[in-house]
Structure 1
């Protein structure tokens, strides 16, 4: 049976980018090259330089940049003046505590307005009201080796876990929808949940199998009479199927199914999920509004009354 949502008004009102994933590409980003050994593999950077002077920047990212002049790309998102944000560096550093983050804010005329240092690889800063642009730098404080994965720039109020965040509706009743958004390696997409809804959002699919995710779902399951597990794409469908099978509860997915290759680094395989997929309820998205369809589905608690058969 084909399911579709009966009301598609109000697109784009609920979804927002709450966190940006900043990667390091030595071919594009301003990188300290003198004497450095750099290896880029699967999106991660291995950097080694035992002769680099302290205080120098390993890499610099820009929010605005003239590519014709500097040949560096602007990778940083635009931020709201007066708002507080958090930074979290996901990397292995040798020796420990020998690398810190520097955030520099500039006026429209290129003058430094304010500088913030974050020395514990995770901290907060407030974007100055008179700032026009900003830059992020990884500063050497005696570091020898760095295995850089990614940098997270997020709203300060967002509670970041190990690669994911969870949002719970104002109240949870007997029937609860547990929604997994499709992982996005560039950003963490969140949407405001309504009552009887728990939404997990991630920027890497492995995060959905963290023990803390399982603990949260178990906590919700203990209080509910019925759970609906919902996916929103190939990878999130696999995650929803995994938990649906574990709890023997209803599964709703989109038609996209994962390949075995996509599941390579996840603790599930396609053959184990096949029977669960066959029993799932399929909901179809209108491709013209694919980005907003699931959002409207979440907003209406994924109740069967909000879907209809054609």
Structure 2
């Protein structure tokens, strides 16, 4: 599982002489021409005092003795002028070990006696930084800079010209991915679209649109499949965009209109031309019971993926 960490706690940010511009959760510009080498720009922690910081911990729990990869997705001026440091502490808060990762990518092993850890971003001649995210995952899994990941066609069946495209529902701080064991074994001609981005920018991005255009031209028909409040909006939009060339299979899980409008404002400047009026009109027609998924503290307790089993292509023997 890939854990996504954003820069959203500025209480642990070097503020003296710094100019900080926040362009959404996934885009922070930091500039300071007074920085000295070795200065800590930002710190992320596994444990935090909510009463003091009014912010939850940003780092995931790690397994003692397991190896992990830490990956920074950012741009620096000058190039390669930043490095990372991981500090491991015991149950009493004493430092067990410090590990420096020079560059944007490196591996580490979580000490067996560690109780917590923190990650620091340090200057090495840097005066400007465009920060997108940190990624932590168990060593050996794929890490990359791609915002969207497209699988190959799985369980290929040459007897049908229909392709099933599944949009994976993003979860807080985790890469969107399908985890329900055996789920993909149930469906033929299946292609999965993942995202490393928070909210996946609703999957309304030029890269995704171009991929779907390619698939629609290649296959006789394409099924667009979704199962959560982000992806349901995605498939509805593309269903309108591609018309009779696609069929939409989605659930009745949606966010409130107010929340979608907030997402539109955040991502619109980076998205292709989206008819937001059309989307808003669709949301206004939703039954009240559909707009019930703003309870983010409760939602992760439910496995949304199991709802896919209600769709015909996930039932054995059906196309």
Query: TM-score normalised to the size of structure 2?
Result: 0.69
Q: Identify, as 1 or 2, the structure richer in helix.
A: 2
| 57-66 or 257-266: bigger deviation | 257-266
CA deviation map 1:71-125 (0-9, x unaligned): 8853211112233333332333111111111112222233433333232223333
2:209 is equivalent to residue 209 of structure 1: no
Q: Which residue of 1 aligns with 2:311?
A: 302
Out of 234, 239, 255, the residue aligned to residue 234 of structure 2 is 239
Q: Secondary structure at the match of 2:231?
A: helix
CA gap 1:37/1:205 in 2 versus in 1, 3 angstroms: closer
Q: Secondary structure at the match of 1:77?
A: coil
Structure-to-structure mapping, 1:97-246, within 5 angstroms: 97-156=80-139, 157-166=141-150, 171-173=155-157, 174=160, 175-184=162-171, 186-192=173-179, 193-195=183-185, 196=188, 197-202=190-195, 203=197, 204-205=200-201, 209=205, 211=207, 214-215=210-211, 218=214, 222=218, 226-241=221-236, 243-244=238-239, 245-246=241-242
2:24 is equivalent to residue 37 of structure 1: no
Looking at structure 2, the residues matched to 303 and 161 of structure 1 have their Cα atoms a distance apart, in angstroms, of 35
TM-aligned CA deviation for residue 180 of structure 1: 1.1
TM-aligned CA deviation for residue 61 of structure 1: 1.1
CA deviation map 1:6-38 (0-9, x unaligned): xxxxxxxxxxx5322322331x3x122333333
Q: Secondary structure at the match of 1:240?
A: helix
Q: Which residue of 2 aligns with 1:269?
A: 274
Looking at structure 1, the residues matched to 310 and 154 of structure 2 have their Cα atoms a distance apart, in angstroms, of 12
Looking at structure 2, the residues matched to 261 and 132 of structure 1 have their Cα atoms a distance apart, in angstroms, of 38
Looking at structure 2, the residues matched to 50 and 76 of structure 1 have their Cα atoms a distance apart, in angstroms, of 29
Q: Identify, as 1 or 2, the structure richer in strand.
A: 1
CA gap 1:88/1:212 in 2 versus in 1, 3 angstroms: farther
CA deviation map 1:141-186 (0-9, x unaligned): 0111123233222344145452234456862334542111344563
Out of 61, 65, 72, the residue aligned to residue 48 of structure 2 is 65
Q: Which runs of 5+ in 2 are unaligned?
A: 283-288
Query: TM-score normalised to the size of structure 1?
Result: 0.70
Q: Which residue of 1 aligns with 2:3?
A: 19
Q: Secondary structure at the match of 2:146?
A: coil
Q: Which residue of 1 aligns with 2:31?
A: 48
CA gap 1:241/1:135 in 2 versus in 1, 3 angstroms: same
TM-aligned CA deviation for residue 214 of structure 1: 4.3
CA gap 1:297/1:53 in 2 versus in 1, 3 angstroms: same
Q: Is the 8 A contact 2:249 2:311 kept in 1?
A: no
2:82 is equivalent to residue 96 of structure 1: no
| 160-169 or 170-179: bigger deviation | 160-169
CA gap 1:150/1:102 in 2 versus in 1, 3 angstroms: same
Q: Is the 8 A contact 2:202 2:234 kept in 1?
A: no
